[in-house]
Amino acid sequence: MAASTSPIIAVFDFDNTLTNRDSLVPFLFHIHGFWKTIYHFIALIPAFTGYFAGALSRQQIKERILTRFIGSRLFGDVQALGKIYADQQLDRYLKPEALKRLTWHQAQGHRCLLVSASLEFYLKPWAKRHGFEKVIASRLELTPTEHITGRLIGLNCWGPEKKRRLLAYLDSTTTQAQFYVYGDSRGDHEILALADYPFYRKFK
């Protein structure tokens, strides 16, 4: 990783922090259309019931959804659809005040990192266009033939895993940096606890 050029690092969650909604469900509608997406969600009702009853973990229900919607598809094909989604749709969900805060950090020369439980393959093109240094997010597991298994590589990037992967990315030169962290949910508590300036569901 390149040496730090600033003592200040701004860490942003994505869904419901930078945006006004979840980003995965609109992506599923984007690739399948309305009725097929509804059909798949109906088929997943037993899995959702298990999740809300505590029989399935957050990661397990996410992997059930991914397996149902994109399992066995070539990653290159889904990645291309993800870029179209990132380029044409994601900006519609941005909160103006969040974008203003991001722009402020960038104008100050702060390092801006995106840390999210959402999927890396569609966040990366969006984050590159918006000037983020790094995307730390959930990653799809692939077969040797580049087909999507429906599982994630390692843990869902949520809660403690967000903190672990953020600290793994940052090297020892950043240990004295000041952190601004923006989040909105229980899944952000661990990274918010790292912050010198934590912002929970607010930007000022």
User: Structural domain tally of the chain?
Assistant: 1
Residue 119: give its domain's CATH number: 3.40.50.1000
Q: Is pLDDT at 198 greater than 80 in this prediction?
A: yes
Percentage of the residues of the chain whose pLDDT score is greater than 70: 95
Q: Is pLDDT at 3 greater than 60 in this prediction?
A: no
Does residue 2 sit within a domain?
no
Q: How far apart are CA 1 and CA 15, in angstroms?
A: 26
How far is C-alpha 23 from the geometric centre of its chain's CA atoms? Answer: 8
pLDDT at residue 175, rounded to an integer:
64
Percentage of the residues of the chain whose pLDDT score is greater than 90: 93
Residue 20 has φ and ψ, to the nearest 5°, of -100, 10
**How many other CB atoms are found less than 10 A from the CB of residue 114?**
25
Q: Is pLDDT at 41 greater than 90 in this prediction?
A: yes
Does residue 1 sit within a domain?
no
Higher pLDDT, 5 or 60: 60
Residue 49 contacts by C-beta under 8 Å, 6 or more apart in sequence? none
Q: Is pLDDT at 122 greater than 70 in this prediction?
A: yes
* Average model confidence (pLDDT) across the chain: 95
> pTM for the complete prediction?
0.93
Does residue 3 sit within a domain?
no
Domain that holds residue 135: 8-200
Does residue 131 sit within a domain?
yes
Q: Tell me the mean pLDDT in the region 93-102.
A: 97
pLDDT at residue 171, rounded to an integer:
79
